[in-house]
Amino acid sequence: MEEYDFKKIATLAVMGVLMLLSFFLLKPILLSIVIGIILAFMFSPVYDFLYRKIHSRNIPAFIICGTLILAILLPLWFLTPIIINQSFRIFQASQQIDFVKPLQEIFPSLFASYEFSAEVGSIIHSFVIKITNSLTNSFSNLILDFPILFLQFLVVSFTFFFLLRDKDLFVAYIRSLLPFSKQVEKEIFESSKDITYSVVYGQVVIGFLQGVIVGIGFFVLGVPNALFLAFLACLAGILPIIGTTIVWIPVAIYLLIEGNIFSTITLTIFGLISNIVDNLLRPIIVSKRARMHPAIVLISMIGGIFFFGVIGFILGPLIIAYLFIVLETYRNKKTPGVFLSQDSNSKGFVINLLR
């Protein structure tokens, strides 16, 4: 018995060391692998549709992977220099903006004192310069880091292709490792699929679409540096609660100060349309699926950005959601949970966080 325990402990120790070494080995490309997994999840319905038509495992994966690579590389090749140039222009313009006059015109009673207005204007000026400088440096580093980004893109592409083609094998392997019963495994996978669908499509895709609508407004009205502002709107659209308003409202105020009443009203209409699209599409896409409260999504996104970078937009909410799924499975109580509740109309967990 002692020899058996020793062998068991030694085996676990060797496995622990190998897992730790594997983590450090894969750490530089871990986010690329995760991106590939998320893309495989997003395009899995398309693969299944093509597979039913073609009856080949490789050809649909090649078609989807090749199309996605072209759809990403071609816009990046043509648009990256333009975005970098426009970000540099915005940085230069931010250094010359006089914030005192707009403050006195919009809030005359609050900023009646010139000394107070100048102090607040200086603080806002420093804040804006810091943000624009950070954005300009980030885009400029895309060129300097091109070799590393190219290798990361290869990892994403290979992960995406093989997971898309062999997803059933990977799911079966993961299920074989879980220490749960078949019924609990089924519920966990159903809940994980629903919550991933909700975050990826309900938050990321719809948010990006909102940014595109606002970006169209920038281009139609001829707003300076429209492409860069549209890119920021797409990123802001992914954020719950905040949304694209954080981008288009300052631009609308700028147009109003410049005396462009028609452009201000038109841009406001585009901004409101983006909000209406969110209210219309989100219930349709995530209907009867797991949903996260916007506050939880926002907090987890911010934490994800600090820890993972840009990809934390997606990883943060998913990690928190999976944690709640496992906790609710472990809790296994009939009484409703604080974070998770069980829908009686669903066979598995239908998660409603803080609703």
Long-range contacts of 17-24 (CB under 8 A, 24+ apart): none
Cβ count near 310 (within 10 Å) = 12
pTM value is 0.64
Q: Are the CB atoms for 355 and 291 separated by under 8 Å?
A: yes
DSSP string, 33-53: HHHHHHHHHHTHHHHHHHHHH
Q: For residue 336, what pLDDT is reported? A: 46
CA 115 – CA 231 distance, rounded (Å): 36
Checking if the pLDDT of 224 tops 70, the result is: yes
CA 208 – CA 238 distance, rounded (Å): 6
CA 18 – CA 23 distance, rounded (Å): 9
The residue that leads in pLDDT, 92 or 24, is 24
Q: For residue 283, what pLDDT is reported? A: 65
**Helices (H), strands (E): how many in the chain?**
15, 0
What average pLDDT does the segment 112-141 reach?
75
Residue with tokens 């914030």: 99
Least confident range of 153-167, 236-250, 291-305: 291-305
Q: Are the CB atoms for 63 and 43 separated by under 8 Å?
A: no
**Whole-number mean pLDDT of the chain?**
76
CA angle 296, 301, 305 (to 5 degrees): 155
